[in-house]
Amino acid sequence: MKNAIIIILTALLSFTLIGEAQGQCRKYTKKSCVPKLDPYIFNGQVNSALLNEGDIAELMLTFYADQEYRVLVCAEDQLGNVNFKLKDINDKVLFDNSKHEMASLWDFTSNTTQQIIVELEIPESDEAGEKLKNGCVAILVGFKETE
């Protein structure tokens, strides 16, 4: 009986802590990431998650021809420099931030409408035995209004 109570309490605690962490992640996205899209207009869809080092996340979105876009990858400081790439559906790499001083955003236009995959990877720690890093990461997309 005592064990059952401990199990339930532990489960509830885990559930609460995870829910809390995910809530914090979305708050971080709103406060620290969305403003970085300015002067682009946020498309309103929040893609954020708690990720661990070595994790990979992808965002798939249709980008319209001749529209100006900003893709922003925003991560909490403890995760270090996050590598992200934009790839077309044939897996051709269109942009790799590791070749652009690990920039956190990319502004571009495509002259064709197409689906593009934004792929990010959380860097792994170099030092053995170091505590596993985790934190909030958001992939956001903004577009520019045409006059």
Binding site for another protein (CB under 8 A): 3, 6-7, 10-11, 14-15, 18-19, 22-23, 26-27, 29-30, 34, 41-47, 49, 51, 54-65, 67, 88-90, 92, 94-95, 106-115, 119, 121, 139, 141, 143, 145-146
Nearest to another protein of 104, 110 (CB atom): 110
d(C-alpha 63, C-alpha 67), whole Å? 8
What 8-state DSSP symbol labels residue 112?
S
Q: By the 8 A CB rule, do 68 and 109 touch?
A: yes
Nearest distance in Å: CB 70, another protein: 11
Q: By the 8 A CB rule, do 116 and 87 touch?
A: yes
Nearest distance in Å: CB 8, another protein: 9
Q: By the 8 A CB rule, do 115 and 60 touch?
A: yes
Both tokens of residue 17?
A: 């802590």
Nearest distance in Å: CB 67, another protein: 6
